[in-house]
Structure 1
């Protein structure tokens, strides 16, 4: 009854709008590690060698195999129905998912009580459960890395993207990246922007990048790219200065500042998308032409021509170069990028149309 009460209380609190809930979760995690470690030691101390000799038989190995390779996977697949998890992810959870302490605790309690009451076979309960817990922990812990590689869930490179700022064009960009399989997390202090992002199915966190606790957020574990897209140049600079090493190991970029628009070579290594499009223009384009289009890149010269078109039309902003294998973020000085066969240019704004004659126009062009 005590365990049930705690579980119900956790479900209720988890669905309440509690302030500082994340801090409570962090404290709970630390406390859980401490208490569970102590509990495992205490439970193991109740097991005698004589108890283990009772289960030294082939039936024990058969029971272990059925639980580890049949019952547990069935439980995971049944409980994760309609969860959005892929089959390989469910297999990995079946192999290494947390388990054991509740069963061990209940078995220790009831096993001793049933033995004291003389119930036949009760002496097998505690050692059997202890053996199952110990066996699965040893097997899964020592093979987790290998199994993750076998089923394809091993993270070889941090390809996630952290976007500072959740304005309209940030959400458009995040939705595009998510559509093509990239993990994206939006961070903003504006609760309305965060709400809109979540309504679009995006991962978004209402947080202040000046906060010391943001680096501990579990949502940022696979982040390798950092995009600072706020309207405040000081915040963008601070985001790169503080988080480039932690979250920008594969690339850290920011929008160009308003005073850099006429000086494209200034800070070109960290500029993003375009040397002439600052936050104001990004918002204007997102407001009137809020859709990302794609156009196939035929050659390196063709790509350079497309970039020149975006420079002459403020309503077209180049964003990414995408192919089957990856998505490259376009820096503010993009002409040196190597274009692979089958790549497309993803851009925000008016649609670019190539005529049969090779002439390139925008969709709204009256010609």
Structure 2
């Protein structure tokens, strides 16, 4: 056991974020590592038991964290994002959820051996996937936009629906089995659900109005949103258990569709908080499980139930609910397979296990075991298979990591040519059709549009590209593009051309302090790079090997050459910049912008050969 609760809080955070980092470093499913870490720290080795150690605070902490995570997820649900996908999303979240509830309840009764009452409660709960498990999976896999958006929308929308279905099933059961049936509880349930939705909408509208009118200062906006989310969740949940999830989802969707710039500014901050909470909650929930619960998972009835839920109930509900939609067969197969259960299922199942046991249903004692069995098996199976499965179905973005270049000019066109020659994906973006003319003639993939416009956000697929290079002639615009996309691409993957000029400029010094990393050591401005291209400089590839190491290459290269990037055999690109030290290893290829010394030498040799040939022919001719 740990020496104190404070130490346990620190350990939970360390284990959660450590699991996330290991998952990122080794390209593994984060939710799988977090689950295994929690099990090892809790029931296996007995280091921590958060439920026991935190006492009465345990459940409120979990509930508030789930509310914030669900709100953050719903904050991304802009209706503009699902243009053309509205019908499949609606069907999956309604018809699909209903079919999954009925089929899951039948499976729970006939396979897991639960009574009808408990089966219908647990069947409603198990339709949820949720942002706590879907978002990490989408981050690790490179799904194409259509299936990724459908999975995200389904996970967030169905989360509160599943909890409400479970509550509804319980209220129906309580009504039907009562000695003197009273419809007041059912009326309260429906009234509380409507109130929760209205409350969430009102809180979202209210916060949006206060942001737009300046009634909340910038430094208080994020704290104010957090408090209102907790208020919204708690007020609805106190009236009727689990309606709080519906309230925060309605609040997030309302704010997401108001088009408020302040919400965009807060979104990335909330994503970071959400990742921290997901990491901590997964560790807490799995570490609080009992050894008996883990052993019960291997009961044949529970394993049979889990297998049918994964391989029959989910695929059947997806295929039936998406009939006559424009989803392809491969998309239906992928959606029918990917349905991991997560935090909401684990937390809400504990609540129903208690109230059903108190109501006299003895089989409710295995709800926690059944829930964890489904959560763990789906998390492991879907976490490890989503990338491979999507690739086999041609629904993943294949190929090497690509580069998105903003700005079409002489240098960027040649840069794109060199990346294309190295078989690295590249896309050139510019708002001017005329500036893109040479790119079109050179056969370079391009996108005609303003990089910072809302239309580009919804029409440009940025998934295949891990690097962004801003190389327009406007340095402040380059900095703005880098700042905008830094949260999406990461600080180390966003670059801009040097804002420095030979004559110096104080405004450029200011621009230098914001935005992405400066390319090529900062000595080569866009004007300099374009001039070098016009002067005949060429893009040269040099293979680094054990016989010709990088150190020797630096010693022998032309002093006027500019190092651009190195590329590994895997296709990973490393751009040379002031802030990042690049050390190419044997097997890597270094690409540089080099004076045409070798080319001039070859031309000179060719001319000499032609002169020699001509002279020899003249000498051989008879006089």
TM-score by length of 1: 0.54
- Check if 1:286 corresponds to 2:533: yes
Which of the pair has more CA radius of gyration? 2
* Residue 332 to residue 43, structure 1, CA distance change in 2 (3 Å): closer
Q: Give the one of 389, 400, 404 matched to 1:162.
A: 404
1:286–1:349 CA contact under 8 A, matched in 2: no
Specify which structure has the higher proportion of helix: 2
- Check if 1:228 corresponds to 2:470: yes
Aligned length: 261
Which runs of 5 or more residues in structure 1 are unaligned?
1-23, 49-88, 90-95, 107-132, 355-360
Q: Give the one of 336, 360, 372 matched to 1:138.
A: 336
Q: Which residue of 1 aligns with 2:577?
A: 331
* Residue 317 to residue 247, structure 1, CA distance change in 2 (3 Å): same
* Residue 237 to residue 136, structure 1, CA distance change in 2 (3 Å): closer
2:565–2:591 CA contact under 8 A, matched in 1: yes
Q: Secondary structure at 2:532's aligned position in 1?
A: helix
2-structure distance, mates of 1:275, 1:365? 34
Query: How does 1:119-138 map onto structure 2 within 5 Å?
Result: 138=336
Query: How does 1:62-77 map onto structure 2 within 5 Å?
Result: none
Q: CA deviation at 1:151?
A: 6.6
Q: Which residue of 1 aligns with 2:493?
A: 251
1-structure distance, mates of 2:399, 2:493? 13
Q: Secondary structure at 1:191's aligned position in 2?
A: coil
* Aligned-residue CA RMSD (Å): 4.9
Q: Which residue of 1 aligns with 2:592?
A: 347
Q: Give the one of 209, 216, 220 matched to 2:451.
A: 209
2-structure distance, mates of 1:136, 1:342? 37
Q: Which moved more, 1:188-197 or 1:268-277?
A: 268-277
2-structure distance, mates of 1:343, 1:349? 18
* Residue 341 to residue 105, structure 1, CA distance change in 2 (3 Å): closer
* Residue 246 to residue 299, structure 1, CA distance change in 2 (3 Å): same
1:317–1:347 CA contact under 8 A, matched in 2: yes
Higher relative contact order (CA closer than 8 Å, sequence separation 6+): 2
Question: Once the two structures are superposed, what CA deviation does each residue of 1:151-198 show, in whole Å capped at 9, x if it has no partner?
Answer: 794679993322111223212212322333323222111112334434
1:261–1:276 CA contact under 8 A, matched in 2: no
Q: CA deviation at 1:103?
A: 9.0
Question: Once the two structures are superposed, what CA deviation does each residue of 1:199-233 show, in whole Å capped at 9, x if it has no partner?
Answer: 44433222223423433344112432221111111
Q: Secondary structure at 2:429's aligned position in 1?
A: strand
Question: Once the two structures are superposed, what CA deviation does each residue of 1:1-30 show, in whole Å capped at 9, x if it has no partner?
Answer: xxxxxxxxxxxxxxxxxxxxxxx9966324
* Residue 139 to residue 225, structure 1, CA distance change in 2 (3 Å): closer
Q: CA deviation at 1:296?
A: 3.5
Q: CA deviation at 1:346?
A: 1.0
Q: Which residue of 2 aligns with 1:31?
A: 86
